[in-house]
Amino acid sequence: MTRKGRVERGTGETQVLVEIDLDGTGRVDVATGVGFFDHMLAQLGKHGSFDLTVKTTGDLHIDSHHTIEDTAIALGAAFREALGDKSGIRRFADASIPLDEALAQVTVDVSGRPYLVHVEPDGMAPMIGPEYDTTMTRHVFESFVSNARVALHVHVPYGRNAHHIVEAQFKALARALRDAVAFDPKVHGIPSTKGAL
């Protein structure tokens, strides 16, 4: 069984291609035109051990919002497609990842029900580099969750450097998703009393 997803999404604002292989080795080929966001998507692929291709062209002459948002939408949809019927997976997972002074804690349920809880420290710097508005991190997760149909809790109890705070979240998400979609030899069929996820 191959667990691959491929989504092409085009609007008047962006053109996005996302390909993901949940059983890959962490090979990443990402280009959105937003350097810091590319760096975060690379963390997701590498630390999730997902092969991930992302190619986005967007209206960056306006700002990076549409490019980041539409990429996250397509990423969630490709992830959902790759999961198939979710038979045999662990479903639940969590990860705590430190990055210097920052700590990110992520818990995920591949539940079929989208829900996000997202908590960051107050007083974060508003921008990372010239293009990444730090309020977009929550919006990335909202867009991903809605389209992947997972429940995601992200908590950063402390941290000072905005780059570290955001990067720790993407790394923790990668590790939690990696564990949640892993096959569990004790799980037969769909891991739910409902018989569907």
Q: What is the pLDDT of residues 172-193, one digit of tens each?
A: 999 999 999 999 999 999 999 8
Instruction: Read off the tokens for 105.
Output: 């804690």
pTM above 0.95, yes or no: yes
Per-residue pLDDT of 20-55, as tens digits, reads: 999 999 999 999 999 999 999 999 999 999 999 999
Helix (H) or strand (E) holding 133: strand 132-133
- Helix (H) or strand (E) run with residue 120 in it: none
Q: What domains are there in the chain, each with its CATH number? A: 4-181 (3.30.230.40)
Give per-residue pLDDT as tens, 47-78: 999 999 999 999 999 999 999 999 999 999 99
Q: What is the pLDDT of residue 193?
A: 86
pLDDT higher than 80, residue 1:
no
pLDDT at 140 over 80: yes
Q: Kindly state the average pLDDT of the residues 131-144.
A: 98
What token pair was written down for 118? 């997202």
Q: At what angle do helices 65-83 and 136-148 cross, to 10 degrees?
A: 30
Report the distance separating Cα 79 and Cα 21, nearest Å. 9
Cβ neighbors of 15 (< 8 A, separation 6 or more) are 8, 9, 56, 57, 58
Q: How far apart are CA 81 and CA 118, in angstroms?
A: 24
Closest CA to 153 of 113, 115, 97, 99: 115
Looking at the chain, which runs of residues are DSSP E strands? Answer: 4-10, 14-21, 28-31, 51-58, 92-99, 102-109, 115-119, 127-128, 132-133, 151-158
The mean per-residue pLDDT over the stretch 137-166 comes to: 98
Position 194 confidence tier, pLDDT thresholds 50, 70, 90:
confident
For residues 186, 115, 106, 65, the Cα torsion angle rounded to the nearest 10 degrees is: 130
Q: Quick one: pLDDT at residue 148?
A: 98
pLDDT digits (tens, 9 = 90+) for 68-119: 999 999 999 999 999 999 999 999 999 999 999 999 999 999 999 999 999 9
Other C-beta atoms closer than 10 Å to the C-beta of 197 total: 19
Q: Is the dihedral of CA 99, 179, 35, 147 positive or negative?
A: negative
Confidence band for 197, pLDDT divided at 50, 70 and 90:
confident
pLDDT exceeds 80 at position 12:
yes
